[in-house]
Homo-oligomer: A and B are copies of this chain.
Amino acid sequence: MAAFHTSVTIRFEDADPAGIVFYPRVIALAHGVVEDLIRQTELGWHGWFDHHGLAAPVRHAEADFLAPMRAGEALEARAWAEKFGETSGTFVVEFAGKDGTVRARVRTVHVLVDRATGQPVPLTSEIREALAPFSA
């Protein structure tokens, strides 16, 4: 597998009064990691977000929160694509501490749709090729 690696710093605003990261923020931060992965592909940001009138909304998301994250921490993040279907694909993002322990794992299933109709369309070859280097 060839995961995309980056570092994510937990912001003061990401943490709640209990002092740990508010869990929907982990899912938002995971989206940021996928954005960084996409920027590294041949498609790039604009090739992805303005892709032939298509969009890739999330239809399903799930996350496991294995250990707390705190404001001010710098975590290692890794992300990859998996399980390509006819019209859908899945991204996985993991956040780990300096010691390698996974703190959270987020999985999002995206469906490629036509912006005009909202109907699913087959993954384009450009998308499959762009994500191949970051696929499990």
Q: Which residues of A contact B (CB under 8 A)?
A: 9, 11-13, 15-20, 22-25, 27-28, 31-32, 35-36, 39, 45-46, 49, 55, 57-66, 68, 71-72, 108, 115, 118
Chain B residues positioned under 8 Å from A17 (CB to CB):
12, 15-17, 19, 49, 71
Structural contact, B55 and A65, CB atoms closer than 8 A: no
Smallest Cβ distance from A109 to chain B, in angstroms?
A: 9
Smallest Cβ distance from A48 to chain B, in angstroms?
A: 9
Q: How far is the CA of A20 from the CA of B57 in the complex (A)?
A: 9
Chain B residues positioned under 8 Å from A57 (CB to CB):
18, 20, 23, 65, 68
A35-B65 contact in complex given A27-B27, A57-B18, C-beta closer than 8 Å? no
Smallest Cβ distance from A14 to chain B, in angstroms?
A: 9
Structural contact, A11 and B32, CB atoms closer than 8 A: yes
Chain B residues positioned under 8 Å from A66 (CB to CB):
59
Q: How far is the CA of A119 from the CA of B22 in the complex (A)?
A: 19
**CB closest chain-B residue, reference A74:** B39
